[in-house]
Amino acid sequence: MTKTRHMCVVAAACAAVLAGCSSPAPISDASPGDPLIRTWKEGERPAVPDLSGPSLEGGTVSLSDYRGKVVLINAWASYCGPCRAEAPELKKVQKKYGARGLRILGLDNDAGRGAGLAFQKQYRLDYPSLHDPSGKQLLRLPRGVVTTQGLPFTIVVDSSGKVAAVRMGAVTEARLAKIIEPLL
**What is the model's pTM?**
0.81
pLDDT tens-digit series, residues 162-183: 999 999 999 999 999 999 999 9
Question: C-alpha angle 179/27/39, rounded to 5°?
Answer: 85
**Residue 184 to residue 182: CA distance in whole angstroms:** 6
* Number of DSSP helices (H) and strands (E) in the chain, helices first: 4, 8
- pLDDT at residue 20, as a whole number: 34
Nearest Cα to 174, choosing from 81, 106, 97? 97
**Beta pairing class for 71-76 and 153-157:** antiparallel
Q: Residue 35: which pLDDT band, with cuts at 50, 70 and 90?
A: low
> Is omega for the bond preceding 152 within 30 degrees of 0, making it cis?
yes
User: Is the pLDDT confidence value at 15 over 60?
Assistant: no
Q: Quote the pLDDT of residue 149.
A: 74
* pLDDT tens-digit map of 68-87: 999 999 999 999 999 999 99
Per-residue pLDDT of 145-156, as tens digits, reads 887 678 999 999
Residue pair 176/155 in contact by the 8 Å Cβ criterion: no
Tens-place pLDDT, residues 96-110: 999 999 999 999 999
pLDDT tens sequence across 116-156: 999 999 999 999 999 999 989 988 988 888 876 789 999 99
